[in-house]
Structure formats: structure tokens, C-alpha cells
Amino acid sequence: MQASCFQNVALGIVAENKAMKDASGKFNRTILVTDIESLNMTNGEIRSNPEQLESSGVDATGKVYNSAVVVDQVIEATWVPFLSNRLTAPDVRRGERVRLWRSGDADKYYWSTMGLDENLRKLETVIFAFSGTQDESQTELDLENCYYFEVSTHNKSITLQTSASNGEPFRYTAQINAAEGALLIEDDVGNSFELDSTENRLTLENADDSKVELNRGKIAIVANEEVSLTVGGTKQVWKPNITTLKTPKFAGGS
């Protein structure tokens, strides 16, 4: 069997911090990187510094020509994950070592992490996504047609979400919002549970506007039809126009 032409061709150094999103708003997978095996005599910090080189001459027919080409000490490389289900590229930063890959002599490069300089990273967003659709016409995995798990120190949050692309009747989201000190669990029809650590508040609410709220030293119960309390043989029922109490014994106080 012939060896693959897709091979690791060099050790690279990331020249610029990877942007989280590209110009179109999609998760960015490209970086600027320097092949330090080819430029091992470079001094100082490696940065993108494109220059235009111009030349002129006379061709074989005696015609004068002028040409210009832009050169740079960095190249653009696209992330190749070597790991299934990860949707976002690692948030590599300037100075991190990566592997550079190329297919044959094609003028297109790819990169993968080496795990040697993760201490250089600061904030990261990592998303693992799992296809949630059987629709063959959908050719791209996105957050609408998959189940996904996201850890984002950029946003200070952890999110778990399902999809409704495979006939599921509901979609669920669970999120820890560490930036606001909150935990939220909700579906896509209006049922939710929220913990607000800052306000010492717990809120349970459904799509019919029934709600129980524990707000510091206060408890609020809201319902449009009925609220009932049962303790052993004692039961109290509140309705919009009537309140009933059933108890074996009633003891009043002064």
C-alpha cells in the first residue's frame, strides 16, 4: 500500500492569536503560523508582516515586463481536528507550537495542536456537537440540528442543549451562567427553573404562568386556577373566588 501524501511537514509557531469567529460570524478554524524549521534563523517575535516585492525585466521576445508579489514569513493554515465531534478549533495563541500538515505539494496547509504550550492560552470556547438529524439534505452540522455541550470561559458559561431535528417534541437547555451567578434549566415551550445566587432567589415557572418563587425571606405562589396545600389530614385549597379548609382540628391563637 502506498503511503499517504497527507503528511506532517513541519513544526510551526502560531504568529497571531486565533480569533474565535471569522468575518462571516462562523467559528474560526484558520490561524497564521510560521514554519520554524524553514525559518529557524528568524530573530525576535514572529508576527505577520506582508511585503510586496517588485521586479522587472525583458522576456524572450524582447518585451519589457513588470511583476509584483506579496511575501510574508507566516502562512495561513486550517485546523484539522483528528478528533470526531469537536466543533470549535482550539483557541491557540501567539507562540504556541503546532504541527503543520500538507497534502503532497499542494499550496494549502493544515494545523493541529501538540499540547506542549497550553499554558499560553487564556480564554477558550470548546463545543462538542453530535448530529441530531436524519435529514440528508442538511450538509452542515450546526447548533440547530445537533445536541451540543459548550464550555466557554470567554462567556463564563457552561451550556448543554438538545435539538428537535429528529422528531423530539421539545428542546431542552441547561446553562450555568457563572458571569451572572445563575443556573437555568428550560424547555422551548416556556417551562423553566432558575437559581439566582446573587439575589438568593429560586424560581420555578411553567408555560401556564404558574410560579413558585423563593426570594430571600419571602415565598410567592402564583396560579391562575388553583393552589392547594396538604399536610396529613389537613388540606387548604385556594381558587380565584373561594378558599376551602378541611382539617380534623383547628386551633386559634391570641
Is the separation of the CB atoms in 88 and 27 below 8 Å? yes
Predicted TM-score of the model (pTM) = 0.80
The structural domains of the chain, with segments of one domain joined by +, span 1-122
| Helix (H/G/I), strand (E/B), else coil: 145 | coil
Mean pLDDT of successive 10-residue segments in the chain (254 residues)?
83 93 90 80 53 56 60 81 92 95 90 93 95 86 91 97 95 98 97 98 98 97 96 94 90 74
Q: Taking every pair of C-alpha atoms in the chain, what is the biggest distance, in angstroms?
A: 118
Specify the amino acid at residue 50: P
Strands 125-131, 75-79: pairing kind:
unpaired
Q: How far does the chain reach from its first CA to its final CA, in angstroms?
A: 96
- The secondary structure of the chain in percent helix, strand, coil, rounded to multiples of 5, reads 0, 45, 50
**Pairing mode, strands 64-71 and 51-58:** antiparallel
**Which pLDDT score, from 0 to 100, does residue 69 have?**
41
DSSP H/E element including 46 = none
Instruction: Round to whole Å and give the CA distance between 92 and 85.
Output: 19
